[in-house]
Chains A and B, each alone.
Chain A
């Protein structure tokens, strides 16, 4: 039941706060815990992909399937850590790292042409042909001084995304 949120002690909250580099205030952690319990319908202590997809606003998101790879089976600490990239207190570096992780599907620290193509596929679906997508991506890569064969690492992402304002903030409702 929803009442379990009162079960969080100050120690628990502080532990979670440390885990997410103080990206959220204590009250926000309590709110997030309530939300976590709400999403964790069968009360197993973790949220399955199925449970995430029961939120229609999430299910219709073009990147939901990709994010589910990172989200499936998260416990509360990991859940907060995942969301910490969206905190207004998170650093730009942290946010870009998060985006990088979304791209880097095999987690080897390098983003290939195909990784980028896959994300672009998620975002545009059937509305751009496979061929055209490749053309577009090759075109903008070359304009930015890369080639089709370049492997982009984290510092490239910082260079590309870090220059202008990256707006990636989600407000946690606190009652």
Chain B
């Protein structure tokens, strides 16, 4: 049933697209389809330009997937009392959502399975715990401390002494941030395999990746000094954000501040035009997902008119679950969890750069890129906006269901 739900929305999307066609054609060939799509594009384009100043990061495409109308029977025959009283499809849907829903699944972390359940394994397991906490963990703390000492003792002089030589300073800072990230990766014995060509610095390109934890950023950053767009964090992470990472061109914002969006949108557009700027990295899901699902991509990254380079990141959960559930765990606790595990095993794929196809809307483009990443990383797609973690779905989704039910009632009433 779950699978049906997950895959079902693709068909619904197709169906709705056909309904949107201006004139129903008896035998639609490819010509008419592309025409209608272009029409849709131009009308949407008009809407975009009017609101482009705020660069609406909330893609309006959720309703394209919502299983709207799935609970409503096809109009058949005359309306009878039983048709009005029978609310079982809607109730079934509600109960189905209570028992299991695709959105909550996205944020479910798998706790590590202790393998200490029999007499032979128990001593082995204890030995493992001792090694992890008493040998590996202190060693890693030492590595990280050395890393910080080296980093800070060279970053601070570089930052303040090379004020006049911007180019050299930028280059040095880039190398140092990459080095620091390597220390971080070493502190959880990161076994990271990178596939595909390394990103290069050039204007008019933006990298997008699926998001599991803040360590995504560290893992990518150790190879290339990306400028990243991220939520502003409190505590020591926030301090790092506003001091060190600012220097590699990272952009911070507050999810809930509408004003921040405008500023971010403007910074984004300026950043991608710069020749010498670090490549831009965006996590378009906007929130951490457990690396088994992918939620809707925000369209912001896909409206910049740049080449989009997808990056797929897949963690192997054999030793530790790299998903950071920011509601239950602080980032420090998350790092400690990683540092007391055997290793963090992960694969990173730099995928084929993609461009907006003629006649494609930014939303369709975002979906296409999500497809590419999801296939590579083996993620299941769900039709939800990740921000629903912080807010309720808008009433228009419910209104859609009401509308289709109302229409079917009225339609059947006319049949006599």
The answer to whether the Cβ of A8 comes within 8 Å of any Cβ in the partner chain is no
The answer to whether the Cβ of A7 comes within 8 Å of any Cβ in the partner chain is no
Contact of A86 among B95, B399, B413 (CB under 8 A): B95
The answer to whether the Cβ of B126 comes within 8 Å of any Cβ in the partner chain is no
The answer to whether the Cβ of B90 comes within 8 Å of any Cβ in the partner chain is yes
A38 CA / B413 CA spacing, docked (Å): 43
A102-B87, A143-B80, A161-B82 known; A125 and B403 CB under 8 Å?
yes
> Quick one: which of B88, B384, B401 has the most chain A CB within 10 A?
B88
CB distance from B104 to the nearest CB of A (A): 6
Q: Which residues of chain A from 124 to 148 have any CB-CB distance to chain B below 8 Å in the complex?
A: 124-128, 136-137, 139-141, 143-144, 146
A51 CA / B108 CA spacing, docked (Å): 16
The answer to whether the Cβ of A154 comes within 8 Å of any Cβ in the partner chain is no
Per-residue contact bits, chain B 359-385, to A (CB 8 Å; 1 contact, 0 not): 000000000000000000000000010
The answer to whether the Cβ of A172 comes within 8 Å of any Cβ in the partner chain is yes
A116 CA / B79 CA spacing, docked (Å): 15
The answer to whether the Cβ of B1 comes within 8 Å of any Cβ in the partner chain is yes
A55-B101, A57-B103 known; A62 and B402 CB under 8 Å?
yes
B407 contacts A170, C-beta separation under 8 Å: no
A61 contacts B93, C-beta separation under 8 Å: yes
Q: Which residues of chain B from 75 to 122 have any CB-CB distance to chain A below 8 Å in the complex?
A: 79-104, 108, 111
A63-B90, A126-B399 known; A136 and B409 CB under 8 Å?
yes
B2 contacts A173, C-beta separation under 8 Å: yes
A102 CA / B1 CA spacing, docked (Å): 25
Write out the residue numbers on chain A whose beta carbons fall within 8 Å of the beta carbon of B405: 62, 123-124, 127
Stretch from B38-46, B271-279, B340-348, B390-398 contacting the other chain: B390-398
CB distance from B412 to the nearest CB of A (A): 10
The answer to whether the Cβ of A149 comes within 8 Å of any Cβ in the partner chain is no
CB distance from B265 to the nearest CB of A (A): 26
Write out the residue numbers on chain B whose beta carbons fall within 8 Å of the beta carbon of A58: 94, 97-98, 101
A128 contacts B406, C-beta separation under 8 Å: yes
A170 CA / B92 CA spacing, docked (Å): 7
The answer to whether the Cβ of A81 comes within 8 Å of any Cβ in the partner chain is no
B81 contacts A168, C-beta separation under 8 Å: no
Write out the residue numbers on chain A whose beta carbons fall within 8 Å of the beta carbon of B191: none
A3 CA / B111 CA spacing, docked (Å): 8
A35 contacts B82, C-beta separation under 8 Å: no
CB distance from A95 to the nearest CB of B (A): 7
The answer to whether the Cβ of A64 comes within 8 Å of any Cβ in the partner chain is yes
A61-B97, A83-B99 known; A171 and B406 CB under 8 Å?
no
The answer to whether the Cβ of B410 comes within 8 Å of any Cβ in the partner chain is yes
Write out the residue numbers on chain A whose beta carbons fall within 8 Å of the beta carbon of B108: 2, 38
Write out the residue numbers on chain B whose beta carbons fall within 8 Å of the beta carbon of A143: 80-81
CB distance from A121 to the nearest CB of B (A): 9
Q: Across the interface, name the chain A residue whose C-beta is closest to B85.
A: A160
CB distance from B341 to the nearest CB of A (A): 17
CB distance from B318 to the nearest CB of A (A): 19
Chain B, interface SS category: helix
> Quick one: which of A59, A67, A126, A141 has the most chain B CB within 10 A?
A59
B86 contacts A56, C-beta separation under 8 Å: no
Write out the residue numbers on chain B whose beta carbons fall within 8 Å of the beta carbon of A1: 111
B87 contacts A55, C-beta separation under 8 Å: no
A3 CA / B108 CA spacing, docked (Å): 13
Q: Which residues of chain A from 79 to 128 have any CB-CB distance to chain B below 8 Å in the complex?
A: 83, 85-86, 95, 98-99, 102-103, 116, 119-120, 123-128
A2-B111, A124-B405 known; A167 and B97 CB under 8 Å?
no
A110 CA / B285 CA spacing, docked (Å): 49
B2 contacts A167, C-beta separation under 8 Å: no
The answer to whether the Cβ of B66 comes within 8 Å of any Cβ in the partner chain is yes
The answer to whether the Cβ of B388 comes within 8 Å of any Cβ in the partner chain is yes
A62 contacts B90, C-beta separation under 8 Å: yes
Write out the residue numbers on chain A whose beta carbons fall within 8 Å of the beta carbon of B86: 99, 161, 166
A1-B111, A60-B66, A169-B92 known; A157 and B397 CB under 8 Å?
no
Write out the residue numbers on chain B whose beta carbons fall within 8 Å of the beta carbon of A57: 93, 96-97, 101-103
A119 CA / B401 CA spacing, docked (Å): 14
A61 contacts B393, C-beta separation under 8 Å: no
Contact of B90 among A116, A123, A126 (CB under 8 A): A123
A55 contacts B103, C-beta separation under 8 Å: yes
A60 contacts B393, C-beta separation under 8 Å: yes
> Quick one: which of A52, A86, A164 has the most chain B CB within 10 A?
A86
Contact of B406 among A39, A124, A161 (CB under 8 A): A124
- What are 18 A-B pairs with beta-carbon distances under 8 A? A32-B99, A56-B103, A56-B393, A58-B97, A62-B398, A63-B87, A63-B94, A71-B98, A98-B91, A103-B85, A125-B403, A126-B399, A126-B402, A127-B399, A127-B405, A161-B86, A168-B91, A170-B92
Q: Nearest 10 CB-CB pairs, A to B?
A: A127-B406, A125-B402, A57-B97, A144-B81, A124-B406, A58-B97, A168-B88, A60-B397, A61-B94, A86-B95
Chain A residues in contact with chain B, CB under 8 A? 1-3, 32, 35, 38-39, 52-53, 55-64, 67, 71, 83, 85-86, 95, 98-99, 102-103, 116, 119-120, 123-128, 136-137, 139-141, 143-144, 146, 157, 160-161, 163-164, 166-173
Chain B residues in contact with chain A, CB under 8 A? 1-2, 66, 79-104, 108, 111, 384, 388, 392-393, 397-399, 401-403, 405-407, 409-410, 413
